[in-house]
Structure 1
């Protein structure tokens, strides 16, 4: 491998690692909504670099300077961009109130675009000058890109966010050094120095070494200046406003930052009964990514936990063998133990949370996880359920996140596989014959989270199978003799709802216990199989009793699809193919959103989906400018007539063919990558690890295909094969997962890599072969098609999110097959 290939690998790895750092930074500092926008727009830098190279095409003579200056500027701008977005006074919640926020938002995007512009400049210039080596150069780019994400995840766990930023800068600087080794120099010999050449080389070596060692030191000891600044609306920022509050624990891992705060202002007991008159026990606040404060509670009198809604589960199933999924600070575990649970299995996906609970704060929480009745498992809940054979009397999904209004938009893009129909069906399959699945969520008006949860429970019971006719309970509401109605119950406090799903129809004594529990603790019943309308809405009065009305209507309707279509918010049950539990947007909400713009608690007036619409329009507009500007310049000022550059006698030589081909490639690649990542999340477990494995496997395999297959395999064969595999993978992967799910994680990772290898290697062929086509016909357009491909990639990221939110991930993968199929039609006249 030549030094220039190593330099390309290093800067590509740094670029992808920096994208991972930015994603983590914005998830922590602002929220996932802005992380998506910022990283998507930052990718425009690659397209901008192609446009720049089209206007100022590199040559073999000036390529060394372009590469070296680009790599150096990437290293410097990477650090500068981070500082800019960390300290610019941008407040997304005030966008509708202050015009100045638009300026800060523009500067945000500009700052983030600059590093990607310079990395794209290095890669694009090399491909433009050396199209004959496109396969090898593109392979180096893909291999480096494939190494970037896992390197970033390892570094985040070891060095934290700011430390990983300096590691990215170090990789960029090593790319500069690689350029020097490959003969690319700063041309310092042109300057006048009164030193000998050996001395000059020694000084250069000292400079490179000093900068590299400095970056290593800063990675290990990042300055306080680079500490992430949180938005004032994060739970951690709000908690620190209370006098005497302090952070007593902070630790990074590959996918989150965990903080624990001590504050007298922490009083967290979601759904606590009005009948409780005692003091709340001392609590600490546990936060992941600065949000969703979950209490770590010092054990005290059981009277406190017995007045939480979750205590109903243990009133119904005393001495239960219990499974608790993602308990956060452990309040649900404390409730289970103080309620007399016989055994408690705790599944927590965040190992840093487990370490904090089991070691750092074990004395405070009463050694909760050292209780002999507790079995602790570090795993994703879905992954655990799909691999275990255990049956449980109770499976509990407790409430551990913060309240979100119905009109919140910041979390609409978050997929959550705990609340899908398939997730509930998996849980039901692991219940004992009289077992219960208990789920808690917040209440909103009109009903949204709770109603969506109710619909998901009904759909899961239908999916679970083995339906037997059950006699309608005497005196109960009319439910069309649906068995699901006999297996469900629900109650609410002032702010929270609890829904119970039984494996078998509820016994009469169970319904008696539910009524007794609700009446004693002043909780309102929403549903029981024999519930009468006058038994609801008694304590926390809500005009019109919308919870009982909508819950019973959904159970009685013969056409649930019509019910969901008529409801003002999107509350249809989420599925594994469409796992967006917090996405409630419908177009009919727009008047309400516009009316509350600038005044709602969450940013963007109430829908993250509208953010995607605006973002799509913006990236299309910017992409059009970046793509059309070079063509207009070449037409007006290039010194040649348009028909001299693009002969009109053959359509295949017209730039529209190049445009469509490279646009379809840019769209298709992410249309493949994003859905496949979602498929493998449930197989591999932790989403961050799935991202690293899937992304790296696809990119490295594509690099192998670019290097070794692109010179040999025809585009006429490669493109249809990609389209075919994109259609086959969703059908074949479930069987593969079922057959290998019980393998250890390393085994599943190897299966993932092998499964992605055929598709990945084929994905590495179309781009370098397309560059060869352009080089043969119109080599002046190589930088331009680099811009087209980069801009299309940004558009595809936004389009894929919108399509997944609207129709599900399968549609995105089908669209990938369509894109590659259309690309095959575009090149049908090209003889390779």
Structure 2
């Protein structure tokens, strides 16, 4: 097939716009589902939705087999009309799926959300596979623009969500994907339909801001869902009102006003709540807060200089002021929460603009690591870190509760300083205690002396005949509690109806009493719980994984994906004797994700925010892979007969990274953010360059073998095994850490390197042919 320069340009542009829009849609889907469901189900739905890419490729294969589309008919230019029609279909799918999700978001039916999410990916998978099938000769260039488009999409999505909100972002990606329909089709009806749709989208973009804001504010996933804060308040007979809404790349943030005139609630994704209290700005009027459990850490020792991590609605600032703090540093990872507090400055006493207060919108752990300041108290109240990110479950945790984090906090305390964790309930309370025990033990404190450094208190209620802990609090000091400090805590707790669980020298009961008497070891303490309270580490930062092993939902997803893949592809493999090709593309899909996911996670702490890691590391990896795909057919990369050089280079570079990454992070952590971003991008681009070569090389070989009709299936195999690789990477990282997961990814690429020749129906296409 002779491909003219003009045709090639049109094809590459089509792939580019489709890639940008589908990447944007994937992140949008994750964000909007995060506001409806728990993050476990978000990962389930988005994983199965991306599975639609494989379904689309199978449909393309079946239609091509029955000769029902004419993408090879270059001379008739029928392919232009086909691409135009599919791009219009994809644009309509984006809009209609979003509208249906909006109007059906009061339901918790996982099946409905899977169905709504999968449709666009099926169309996208169909488009990708037929383009790669029809133009195998330029597969490297196709792969180049595909990954460049995805890389640009990973950066554009942040800008769009932060600056325009959810609805305008959906309209924008629907416009991007319709561009091929405006420049390609020969049929006037198709072009007319494309321009009409474009006009409708632009009209939507130009709607006055108050209308867009009103639609976003009244999103039914928040207002009609009884499992979310707003719906729960309404179910309990209250009259909630959303008075502030903002979507960004991190969350949907709302401020909810309800019957209590002295408080409002700041929520993240509808359910992670933080109170915002009414305050007149006069510190003398904060006496009422001294009866609450959050105040107790401020009641002992010096509190002049305080670090607050995860300040949410700003209530922690009030406790710090009540405790006499004159130098308060507030750190909140969700900048929309900071904006929300500032928007209601008249209500909350303008707390973030007080002379005693400095506010920073970044990750608390990273702030502590780079700061040279020391504090009398580091306070973390109900820090919710399991908000869903663009990559789903794999990026749902950060490093706030790891053992290394505990060491960073202890190193940032003044003499006789303290850390206080206010937890959600018994699960995170128990895990924080275990983390503190192991951290202090590794710092050289004998196990039987550690209880002298910790105090445990909690609010309680009686439910179903049992006692339930609310806002349990752990106070950890870098010096043993004095008798005066212990007495003060015990006195305030007793006066205010707060349960004393363990206070050194004053109230010593339960497991800590046994530990202090040498009757219980750390391992025995950990094993005494039905849940997993093994301390999290920076290599396995899954603090909210309370399963003893891997969460059942992840194993369920993995099994469904594997069974689905087996059912979908086995008949094809048997009929076409395509075991070698299927194995090759399957290993590529899994291997790519098993390196990509842990690599992004490893850069979170270095760059200081999960969004920065997701954006720049993924962009660097995809752009590097795209460039590698462009050069994949060069002789220099294909002349070795013993093994396939690019795959071997991926394994080699990853080994080097595993050995040197921590050293690189430590030696450059004090550089400016822009310098750290450049270092991260360069490191992953080098690796991505070689990771991008095997896929287009395989597509080209299939085309040269005369069996290009199987390309759609190979494309689908690669897409589906990429999803499997993402889930498997998370499972492995929970079991053996990110380093272990990347090591398995290295092994996969070593296996790929042995595919130095690919067999097609007893013919062999050599790499250097």
Cα separation, partners in 2 of 1:403 and 1:619, compared to 1, 3 Å: closer
Give 2:352's match in structure 1, choosing from 365, 369, 373. 369
Deviations 1:460-509 (A, max 9, x none): 2244x3x367xxxxxxxxx54x4x33322222221221111112233333
Give 1:174's match in structure 2, choosing from 179, 184, 202. 179
Equivalent-residue separation in structure 2 for 1:513 and 1:89 (angstroms): 49
TM alignment of 1:533-552, pairs within 5 A? 533=508, 548-549=510-511, 552=514
Q: In the TM superposition, what is the alpha-carbon distance from 1:243 to its structure 2 partner?
A: 4.4
- DSSP-derived class of the 2:349 partner: coil
- DSSP-derived class of the 1:395 partner: strand
Alignment-derived partner of residue 796 in structure 1:
725
Cα separation, partners in 2 of 1:741 and 1:403, compared to 1, 3 Å: closer
* Residue 165 of structure 2 is aligned to residue 160 of structure 1: yes
Cα separation, partners in 2 of 1:336 and 1:90, compared to 1, 3 Å: closer
Deviations 1:56-81 (A, max 9, x none): 22651154344233222111112222
Alignment-derived partner of residue 53 in structure 1:
60
Equivalent-residue separation in structure 1 for 2:524 and 2:445 (angstroms): 25
Q: In the TM superposition, what is the alpha-carbon distance from 1:8 to its structure 2 partner?
A: 0.8
Q: In the TM superposition, what is the alpha-carbon distance from 1:3 to its structure 2 partner?
A: 2.8
* Residue 672 of structure 2 is aligned to residue 744 of structure 1: yes
Alignment-derived partner of residue 419 in structure 2:
437
Equivalent-residue separation in structure 1 for 2:552 and 2:452 (angstroms): 40
- DSSP-derived class of the 2:535 partner: coil
Question: Are 1:704 and 1:764, in contact at CA under 8 Å, matched by a contact in 2?
Answer: yes
* Residue 215 of structure 2 is aligned to residue 233 of structure 1: no
Give 1:668's match in structure 2, choosing from 580, 591, 594. 591
Q: In the TM superposition, what is the alpha-carbon distance from 1:412 to its structure 2 partner?
A: 11
Q: In the TM superposition, what is the alpha-carbon distance from 1:804 to its structure 2 partner?
A: 2.4
Equivalent-residue separation in structure 2 for 1:556 and 1:583 (angstroms): 29
Name the TM-score, length of structure 2 as normaliser. Answer: 0.87
Question: Are 2:125 and 2:716, in contact at CA under 8 Å, matched by a contact in 1?
Answer: no
Equivalent-residue separation in structure 2 for 1:45 and 1:776 (angstroms): 28
Give 2:89's match in structure 1, choosing from 52, 70, 73. 73
Cα separation, partners in 2 of 1:208 and 1:532, compared to 1, 3 Å: closer
Alignment-derived partner of residue 568 in structure 2:
626
- DSSP-derived class of the 1:29 partner: coil
Equivalent-residue separation in structure 1 for 2:531 and 2:255 (angstroms): 35
* Residue 275 of structure 2 is aligned to residue 291 of structure 1: no
Deviations 1:187-219 (A, max 9, x none): 53xxxxxxxxxxx6xx87665444323212323
Question: Are 1:292 and 1:402, in contact at CA under 8 Å, matched by a contact in 2?
Answer: no
Cα separation, partners in 2 of 1:26 and 1:403, compared to 1, 3 Å: closer
* Residue 9 of structure 2 is aligned to residue 2 of structure 1: yes
Alignment-derived partner of residue 339 in structure 2:
355
Cα separation, partners in 2 of 1:574 and 1:393, compared to 1, 3 Å: same
Q: In the TM superposition, what is the alpha-carbon distance from 1:551 to its structure 2 partner?
A: 7.7
Equivalent-residue separation in structure 2 for 1:421 and 1:558 (angstroms): 21
Cα separation, partners in 2 of 1:112 and 1:412, compared to 1, 3 Å: closer
RMSD: 2.8
Alignment-derived partner of residue 102 in structure 2:
86
* Residue 448 of structure 2 is aligned to residue 487 of structure 1: no
Deviations 1:354-387 (A, max 9, x none): 22223x2111111212221112222210111111
Equivalent-residue separation in structure 1 for 2:136 and 2:513 (angstroms): 63
TM alignment of 1:798-817, pairs within 5 A? 798-817=727-746
Equivalent-residue separation in structure 1 for 2:386 and 2:728 (angstroms): 29
Cα separation, partners in 2 of 1:799 and 1:411, compared to 1, 3 Å: closer
Alignment-derived partner of residue 332 in structure 1:
316
Equivalent-residue separation in structure 2 for 1:336 and 1:392 (angstroms): 13
Alignment-derived partner of residue 31 in structure 1:
38
Alignment-derived partner of residue 393 in structure 1:
376
Alignment-derived partner of residue 298 in structure 2:
314
* Residue 541 of structure 2 is aligned to residue 579 of structure 1: yes
* Residue 205 of structure 2 is aligned to residue 215 of structure 1: no
Q: In the TM superposition, what is the alpha-carbon distance from 1:394 to its structure 2 partner?
A: 0.6
Cα separation, partners in 2 of 1:106 and 1:246, compared to 1, 3 Å: closer
Question: Are 1:163 and 1:220, in contact at CA under 8 Å, matched by a contact in 2?
Answer: no
Equivalent-residue separation in structure 1 for 2:385 and 2:655 (angstroms): 39
Q: In the TM superposition, what is the alpha-carbon distance from 1:134 to its structure 2 partner?
A: 0.6
- DSSP-derived class of the 2:35 partner: helix
- DSSP-derived class of the 1:82 partner: helix
Question: Are 1:67 and 1:125, in contact at CA under 8 Å, matched by a contact in 2?
Answer: no
Alignment-derived partner of residue 463 in structure 2:
none
- DSSP-derived class of the 2:422 partner: strand
Cα separation, partners in 2 of 1:567 and 1:373, compared to 1, 3 Å: same
Alignment-derived partner of residue 120 in structure 1:
125
Q: In the TM superposition, what is the alpha-carbon distance from 1:615 to its structure 2 partner?
A: 1.9
Name the TM-score, length of structure 1 as normaliser. Answer: 0.81
* Residue 605 of structure 2 is aligned to residue 682 of structure 1: yes
Alignment-derived partner of residue 303 in structure 1:
287
Equivalent-residue separation in structure 2 for 1:282 and 1:258 (angstroms): 20
Show structure 2 runs of 5+ residues with no match.
1-7, 461-469, 759-765
Alignment-derived partner of residue 193 in structure 1:
none
Alignment-derived partner of residue 452 in structure 1:
431
Cα separation, partners in 2 of 1:566 and 1:14, compared to 1, 3 Å: same
Cα separation, partners in 2 of 1:411 and 1:673, compared to 1, 3 Å: closer
Deviations 1:657-681 (A, max 9, x none): 1111111100011111110111111
- DSSP-derived class of the 2:533 partner: coil
Equivalent-residue separation in structure 1 for 2:232 and 2:112 (angstroms): 26
Alignment-derived partner of residue 422 in structure 1:
404
Question: Are 2:375 and 2:413, in contact at CA under 8 Å, matched by a contact in 1?
Answer: yes
Q: In the TM superposition, what is the alpha-carbon distance from 1:717 to its structure 2 partner?
A: 1.3
Deviating more after overlay: 510-519 vs 576-585: 510-519
Question: Are 1:417 and 1:423, in contact at CA under 8 Å, matched by a contact in 2?
Answer: yes
Q: In the TM superposition, what is the alpha-carbon distance from 1:322 to its structure 2 partner?
A: 0.7
- DSSP-derived class of the 2:541 partner: coil
- DSSP-derived class of the 1:295 partner: strand
* Residue 329 of structure 2 is aligned to residue 345 of structure 1: yes
Equivalent-residue separation in structure 1 for 2:393 and 2:157 (angstroms): 24
Equivalent-residue separation in structure 2 for 1:66 and 1:213 (angstroms): 21
Cα separation, partners in 2 of 1:244 and 1:496, compared to 1, 3 Å: closer
Q: In the TM superposition, what is the alpha-carbon distance from 1:828 to its structure 2 partner?
A: 6.0
- DSSP-derived class of the 1:417 partner: coil
Q: In the TM superposition, what is the alpha-carbon distance from 1:625 to its structure 2 partner?
A: 2.7
Equivalent-residue separation in structure 2 for 1:331 and 1:139 (angstroms): 50
Alignment-derived partner of residue 466 in structure 2:
none
Equivalent-residue separation in structure 1 for 2:358 and 2:415 (angstroms): 22
- DSSP-derived class of the 1:379 partner: coil
Equivalent-residue separation in structure 2 for 1:626 and 1:208 (angstroms): 34
Question: Are 2:298 and 2:320, in contact at CA under 8 Å, matched by a contact in 1?
Answer: yes
Question: Are 1:485 and 1:529, in contact at CA under 8 Å, matched by a contact in 2?
Answer: yes
Question: Are 1:391 and 1:430, in contact at CA under 8 Å, matched by a contact in 2?
Answer: yes
Alignment-derived partner of residue 249 in structure 1:
244
* Residue 73 of structure 2 is aligned to residue 144 of structure 1: no
Q: In the TM superposition, what is the alpha-carbon distance from 1:353 to its structure 2 partner?
A: 1.7
Question: Are 1:487 and 1:502, in contact at CA under 8 Å, matched by a contact in 2?
Answer: yes
Q: In the TM superposition, what is the alpha-carbon distance from 1:556 to its structure 2 partner?
A: 4.4
Question: Are 2:129 and 2:712, in contact at CA under 8 Å, matched by a contact in 1?
Answer: yes
Deviating more after overlay: 61-70 vs 316-325: 61-70
Q: In the TM superposition, what is the alpha-carbon distance from 1:9 to its structure 2 partner?
A: 0.6
Cα separation, partners in 2 of 1:819 and 1:326, compared to 1, 3 Å: same
Q: In the TM superposition, what is the alpha-carbon distance from 1:307 to its structure 2 partner?
A: 0.8
Question: Are 2:395 and 2:601, in contact at CA under 8 Å, matched by a contact in 1?
Answer: no
Equivalent-residue separation in structure 1 for 2:63 and 2:573 (angstroms): 12
Alignment-derived partner of residue 823 in structure 1:
752
